[in-house]
Structure 1
Amino acid sequence: MKTKVLFFIMSVFFFVNTNAQCAMCRAVLESEEGQGAAKGINNGIVYLMAVPYILIFGLAYFIYRKYFTKPKSQE
């Protein structure tokens, strides 16, 4: 279990520093001076890519909690 948690944490840290531009976007944005727009486009692409994974993780956690938690005993 510890290795799975460690793998998840490390993958989140490596996910933050990714380059997600397609070849055409990169070619157009690299010709610009300052690279401000390129960094903004790249961050937007990474953000849009992360949202579905977060939603699926939340749904999986909800299902896991619903089916694998023990019900409280009524007294």
Structure 2
Amino acid sequence: MGEPEGSAEDLPRIAQPDQVWQRASVEFVAVVTLDGESSVEIGYRVAWDEEHTLGARLRNGRLLELDGSVLPP
């Protein structure tokens, strides 16, 4: 495994959960079928990782998965 790029000093300081939204934006929203059921996937761009899209998968209002490298549908 390679060394991480940058340092801890380069990461944004987030003290409260709601402060993350200042550094994230929605890239896409998709309704997808997973395991035969409809789910929602929301892709976010985040300031601390410009190369990847963070994906949140939800079903029935519950978080199923948070993935650090998703592609738009």
Give the alignment's TM-score, normalised by structure 2: 0.21
Structure with greater strand percent: 2
Higher helix share: 1
Higher relative contact order (CA 8 A, sep 6+): 1
**TM-score (norm: length of structure 1):** 0.20
